[in-house]
């Protein structure tokens, strides 16, 4: 049997984008066993765009090492929308070209992305290849929706809060494209391996 293929592109810059992607994969495989092929990929690295991969992740590392710079940069970058759409589609030409080749060969039935750069790139690639598939983005900001997630070419944008939904609406994303859904959490975090009383005693809790 030929399985439907779901491509889940993300950026492995910390666990913030990777873990929700893995949680979605785990849930699909658990709820629909044997029905889908779900592939979670570190998009630029997987397609061989190593220069773009280094550039993107170096920027991330600088932010993690400098909290004040990260906070200030976050606010500034948020104000750049909708220029951010052009940036994500065109600043990494190596990434875009290799993503086109990769997606053409992979031929997904659905793209579900958990990073704003990979979401916009996926939408651009889908459009360029004229693929009859949907591209869905999950906003991994747990409370709001950073401006760079906002891309009208996405079929659906999923957020974890009503605040995030309002921010998307304020930037022109129609209500029909927005869904408020719980934050994806891997099933392993719900599995208790020790007795609760023993855990409390071990941790010094009452």
Domains of the chain with CATH codes = 4-203 (3.40.50.2300)
* Pairwise CA distance, residues 86 & 153, whole Å: 12
* Pairwise CA distance, residues 53 & 61, whole Å: 12
Return the pLDDT at 203: 85
Residue for token digits 């994969």?
25
In this structure, what DSSP letter does residue 204 have? T
Burial class (CB in 10 A: 0-12, 13-18, 19+), 56: buried
Going residue by residue through the chain (206 aa), what tens digit of pLDDT does each one get?
A: 689 999 999 998 777 899 999 999 999 999 999 999 999 999 999 999 999 999 888 877 777 777 877 778 778 778 878 888 888 888 899 999 999 999 999 999 999 999 999 999 999 999 999 999 999 999 998 888 888 899 999 999 999 999 999 999 999 999 999 999 999 888 887 777 778 888 888 888 87
Q: What spatial distance separates the first Cα and last Cα of the chain, rounded to whole Å?
A: 53
The pTM assigned to this predicted structure is 0.87
CB of 9 closer than 8 Å to CB of 113: yes
Residue for token digits 């750049």?
80
Return the pLDDT at 1: 65
In this structure, what DSSP letter does residue 36 have? E
Return the pLDDT at 2: 85
- Phi, psi angle pair for 76, to nearest 5°: -65, -45
In this structure, what DSSP letter does residue 82 have? T
Cα 52 to chain centroid, rounded = 17
* Pairwise CA distance, residues 161 & 171, whole Å: 16
Residues whose CB falls within 8 Å of the CB of residue 71, separated by 6 or more in sequence, listed in order: none
Q: CB count, 10 Å around CB of 91?
A: 13
CB of 174 closer than 8 Å to CB of 154: no
């Amino acid at each position: 049997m030929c399985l439907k293929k779901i491509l889940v592109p993300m950026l492995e810059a910390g666990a913030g984008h990777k873990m929700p992607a893995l949680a979605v994969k785990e849930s699909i495989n658990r709820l629909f066993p044997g029905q889908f092929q779900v592939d979670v990929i570190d998009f630029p690295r997987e397609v061989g765009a190593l220069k773009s991969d280094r550039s993107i992740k170096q920027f991330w590392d600088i932010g993690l090492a400098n909290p004040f710079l990260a906070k200030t940069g976050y606010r500034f970058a948020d104000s750049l929308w909708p220029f951010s759409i052009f940036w994500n589609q065109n600043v990494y030409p190596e990434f875009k070209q290799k993503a086109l080749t990769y997606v053409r060969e992979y031929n997904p039935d659905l793209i579900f992305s958990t990073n704003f750069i990979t979401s916009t790139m996926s939408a651009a690639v889908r459009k360029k290849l004229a693929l009859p598939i949907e591209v869905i983005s999950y906003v991994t900001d747990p409370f709001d929706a950073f401006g760079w997630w906002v891309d009208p070419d996405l079929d659906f944008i999923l957020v974890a809060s009503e605040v995030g939904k309002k921010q998307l609406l304020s930037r022109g994303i129609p209500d029909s494209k927005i869904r408020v859904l719980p934050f994806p959490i891997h099933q392993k975090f719900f599995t208790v391996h020790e007795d609760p009383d023993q855990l409390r005693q071990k941790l010094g809790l009452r």
